Copies of this chain bind each other. A is one copy, B any other.
Amino acid sequence: MKEINIGILGYGTVGAATDKLIRQNAPQITARTGVKINVRAVADVSPKVKHPRLTRNAYDVIKDPEISVIVEAIGGINPALNYVLAAIKAGKDVVTSNKEMIALYGNKIREEAARNGVSVRFEAAVGGGIPILGPLSENLAANNITEIFGIVNGTTNYILSKMSWEGGEFKEALAEAQKKGYAEANPKKDIEGYDASYKAAILASVAFSAKIDWHKVYFEGISKITQEDICYAEEIGYVIKLLAIAKKVNGEIEVRVHPTLVPEGHALSYVTGPMNAIYVRGDAVGELMFYGQGAGGMATASAVVGDILAIANPKSSALGGQNPKVKAVKIKSISEITSQYYIRLTVPDKPGVLAGISKAFASENVSIAAVMQKETIGKNATIVIVTHEAKEGNLQKAISRIKKLPVVKEVSNVIRVGL
């Protein structure tokens, strides 16, 4: 087992969730990766923060010789950038969720990291817990990525979805988003497209291995979108989404964020509420989409801790085929699972049939959720039954009973229902 000591700068939503996740899943993390993560110190200036290893001075953490990885979870430029640069100069690897800092100062941070031979990872900066920067730079490294675009801001996607589902104007939907915690009290960075523009710049820089000047990224928010626009778009077969778009066109790069009419039926049109999804087009892999929660403390912490483990364990031994420590497990027999079931029966078209069938199900504790009597062909009728959740073993016993009923010609199909 390998131990790694980390320090967390900023104990807000992301910092606290990172600490919590490391504690909560410590046994699984060690079992899967062979790494034990110790949170050696936490720095935060807020008098409200309580933590057994708290300091008010970030430099206490940065300079601690026991600590090898600094997690920056303060957000914004000041003082986060100075702390990160100081950590790099002190020879620490850095993990950050700070999209604004990476978008604006990623080039400077990259140069400083190269000079000091340390890693800076920021999977959490785009798409919350959705693995996107790792896959782009690792699994997809053989591709010439030509396009990457998607819904990278949950606040605006929630607002647009709500306007589309329920009518109402932007202001009402924003108020609702604030009530639900999807929008901040000062929502400017989300609704005016700043947040998405940071993510667009980061996606472009990783997908195209390019230095992107954020100041050249065009962005627009959603505050001008009206209910009228949403309705007219729908009439012509579109939904309105705030997209971050990066494309390589004839060797030039486009990076932009704006509301976009997305054709109904495109995978992104189904991405609603606060969810995020990122579409990638590569010359070998074709089209890919990565979908998930784009925000939230624990989802973001999932990416942060993933990055810490990648630093601790550069030659990953976690792949099933490589980890010699995987345990044998018992696999449930199919008769032990539970599911709902769809059953299609062929029966003679005469009275009393359903009574016998119902009794067979009931005697095996399978309860019926819905019955449809379908058309009669010749002397035969079709009955379709959907059960409530039942144990597969019981269902199979009920089916055996039903097969023996004189009123049943055939059990024509049995298909499991639901996920």
Chain A residues in the interface with B (C-beta under 8 A): 17, 21-22, 24-25, 28-29, 31-33, 102, 106, 109-111, 113-114, 119-123, 128-131, 133-135, 137-144, 149, 202, 205-206, 208-213, 216-218, 224-226, 228-229, 232-233, 235-236, 238, 240, 243, 245, 249, 252-256, 258-263, 266-268, 270, 279, 282-293, 296, 298-299, 301-303, 305-306, 309-310, 314-316, 318-334, 336-337, 340, 342, 344, 370, 372, 374, 382, 384, 386, 412-413, 415-419
Contacts and interface: CB of A to CB of B under 8 A. Distances in A.
Given A261-B415, A327-B210, A315 B314 contact: yes
Q: Which of A139, A259, A305 has the largest number of chain B CB atoms within 10 A?
A: A139
Contacts of A370: 236
Given A316-B138, A417-B261, A143 B285 contact: no
Given A210-B329, A235-B372, A267-B291, 10 more contacts: A17-B284, A110-B326, A131-B138, A134-B139, A138-B306, A141-B305, A212-B329, A233-B415, A288-B291, A290-B290
A252 B330 CA distance: 7
A290 B113 CA distance: 31
A278 to B, nearest CB: 11
Contacts of A279: 419
Nearest to A259: B415
Contacts of A285: 128-130, 292-293, 298-299, 302-303
A134 to B, nearest CB: 5
A289 B292 contact: yes
B288 A129 contact: yes
Which 5 A-B pairs give the minimum distances between C-beta atoms? A114-B324, A142-B305, A131-B139, A137-B318, A129-B285
12 contacts: A131-B131, A133-B319, A135-B139, A139-B310, A210-B320, A212-B329, A225-B413, A228-B382, A232-B344, A268-B419, A279-B419, A284-B301
A256 B335 CA distance: 11
A71 to B, nearest CB: 12
Contacts of A256: 334, 337
Q: Which of A216, A232, A319 has the largest number of chain B CB atoms within 10 A?
A: A319
A206 B419 CA distance: 20
A296 B286 contact: yes
A129 B280 CA distance: 12
B140 A302 contact: yes
A334 B224 CA distance: 19
A329 B208 contact: yes
Contact of A102 (B122, B321, B327, B332): B321
